[in-house]
Amino acid sequence: MSGDSASNPPPPISPGSDSSEARDPRAPDVLPRHASTLSRQSFALYTALIVYGSWYPFSGWRSLGLSPLAYLGDPFPKYWTAFDVITNVLGYMPFGALAVLAVWPRCRGWLAVVVATLGGTLLSGVMEAVQTYLPTRVASNLDLATNALGALLGAALAAPLTGAVLERGFLRRLRFRWFERDAGALMVLAALWPFATMFPAPRLFGMGDWPRALWQRFDASMQDAVLAWTPAVWHLRTLPDALAARLPESDWEALVTTLNLFGAAAFASLPMRERAPRARLIVVLLAVTVVVKAGATFLQSQSGLLFDWATPGALAGLVWGTLAAFLALRLPRTARAAAATVALAVALVLVNLLPVNPYFDVVLADWRQGRYLHFNGLARWLAWIWPWLALGWTAFSLERAWLARRARAK
């Protein structure tokens, strides 16, 4: 929904205040017919997610002596379910809709629908062809047909709304009234946070634990070699247990939940203008997060529970994190970025150092690992990398703000 140019880098965070446009964003001359950077970024991201979900786990490649296009001439599979068909259609509908928004204003109307449908068909065809070489996947012309149908439906639904959304619509005016012009990538990253919380974590919102996962893959000799390079005073072998003994498990979960929730909410508030209803937007973000978390738990849990993650510590963390996020809205943007950086950094240290509690083993055993296998892999990777991406962005922005302040001082 952004009309800003991708060639202009985002300005550094200005200390002490929120920047605003000099002219009224509702004026027609402020809403030119430029390509939507946010739509194109979202389209590229969703395409990457499709590639990841189609080819995960990217291992076991082999050739059966078949042409990668042989599946096109096969009869339709005899065994299929309505769930598979609906999933394939729904999976490519956002692709078709985002493709229509991404090609605007160069292509509009029926031409945009044709381009989006052909793009979805081509992408699906390539995904299915490469699956010929993956032992865990089966190339299927039925999948190709349903994916193409999904792209067509998504494009057909989005095409009539393109002008209203990107050119003259109420949503576009809100976009520029509430959010900074060059904040498209930041908005996309903030919008991904609810989905990053889907995969089970030892403590609610305790994401970013890929260093722990990598460490556990090392054998004892490799771990000893790594520890030999660290100062002995750190006591890294005994530090996790010593740290866990300082507080009850429920308190640690409350702290981890609070830090991650506050860090994500403060991060999401950075692209918001001063005139935006920031408190209500944060409430919407938190509500969407709870709904997504509960929905994923219901679909994946064998017991069918919605809130098995809602432990006393997690609920306390939700309350404290929300209150801290609301209080942080009173701070200047630079201070919010600094607070988000500190919260995310401390949370990542705790997530990777604290030992996993036994309760998490029960939760993970109840999680259907085989169901939506590729979706599970994607959700896990998103949970691994989201805090690190957000931390990198806030740290980089603070550095630019500091350099800008030094330049003004000189």
Q: What is the pLDDT of residues 239-271, one digit of tens each?
A: 888 888 888 989 999 999 999 999 999 999 999
Helix H or strand E segment including 364: helix 358-366
Q: Scanning the structure block, which residue is given the tokens 């509430």?
A: 178
Last residue of a domain, which of 126, 153, 179? 179
| Exposure b/e, 232-264, CB count within 10 A at least 16 = b | eeeeeeeebeeebeeeebbebbbbbbbbbbbbb
397 domain residue, yes or no = yes
| Structural domain boundaries, residue 40 | 28-179
pLDDT at 336 over 50: yes
Do 155 and 128 fall within a single domain? yes
- Please, are residues 372 and 300 in contact by the beta-carbon 8 Å criterion? yes
Do 148 and 48 fall within a single domain? yes
Mean pLDDT, residues 84-104 taken together: 88
pLDDT per residue over 337-368, tens digit each?
Answer: 999 999 999 999 999 999 887 667 666 666 66
Do 160 and 199 fall within a single domain? no
Pairwise CA distance, residues 316 & 248, whole Å:
14
Task: Identify the weakest region by mean pLDDT among 22-26, 144-148, 317-321.
Answer: 22-26
Q: In the structure, what pLDDT confidence band is assigned to residue 93 with cuts at 50, 70 and 90?
A: very high
Last residue of a domain, which of 160, 179, 198? 179
165 domain residue, yes or no = yes
Mean pLDDT, residues 203-231 taken together: 84
Q: Could you tell me which of 391, 366, 367 has the C-alpha nearest to residue 379? A: 367
In angstroms, the Cα distances linking 7 to 4, 37, 141, 179, 372 are 9, 10, 40, 18, 38
Pairwise CA distance, residues 401 & 395, whole Å:
10
Do 235 and 293 fall within a single domain? yes
Do 174 and 130 fall within a single domain? yes
Percent of the chain with pLDDT over 70: 82
Q: Scanning the structure block, which residue is given the tokens 């010593």?
A: 242
84 domain residue, yes or no = yes
**Which residues does residue 272 pair with via DSSP β-bridges, in sequence order?**
179
pLDDT at 314 over 80: yes
pLDDT value at residue 169: 60
pLDDT at 373 over 70: no
23 domain residue, yes or no = no
Mean pLDDT, residues 366-384 taken together: 67
Task: Provide the whole-model pTM.
Answer: 0.69
Last residue of a domain, which of 132, 158, 179? 179
Residues 6+ apart with CB under 8 A from 211: 352
Do 294 and 253 fall within a single domain? yes
Do 91 and 236 fall within a single domain? no
15 domain residue, yes or no = no
7 domain residue, yes or no = no
Pairwise CA distance, residues 23 & 3, whole Å:
15
Pairwise CA distance, residues 307 & 299, whole Å:
12
Do 113 and 260 fall within a single domain? no
The helix-helix angle for 249-269 and 184-196 (nearest 10°) equals 160
pLDDT value at residue 142: 87
Q: Given CA atoms 301, 303, 305, 311 in this order, what sign does their dihedral have?
A: negative
Overall domain count for the chain: 2
| Exposure b/e, 59-87, CB count within 10 A at least 16 = b | eeeeeeeeebeebeeeeeeeeeeeeebeb
Between 162 and 386, the more confident residue is: 386
Do 37 and 175 fall within a single domain? yes
1 domain residue, yes or no = no
Measured in whole angstroms, the distance separating CA 7 from the mean position of its chain's CA atoms is 24
Label residue 143 exposed, middle or buried (CB < 10 Å: 0-12, 13-18, 19+): buried
Mean pLDDT, residues 205-210 taken together: 91
Tell me the one-letter amino acid at 177. R
Do 248 and 376 fall within a single domain? yes
2 domain residue, yes or no = no
Omega of the bond prior to 202 within 30 degrees of 0, cis?
no
Helix H or strand E segment including 318: helix 312-328
Do 267 and 210 fall within a single domain? yes
Do 347 and 227 fall within a single domain? yes
pLDDT at 171 over 70: no
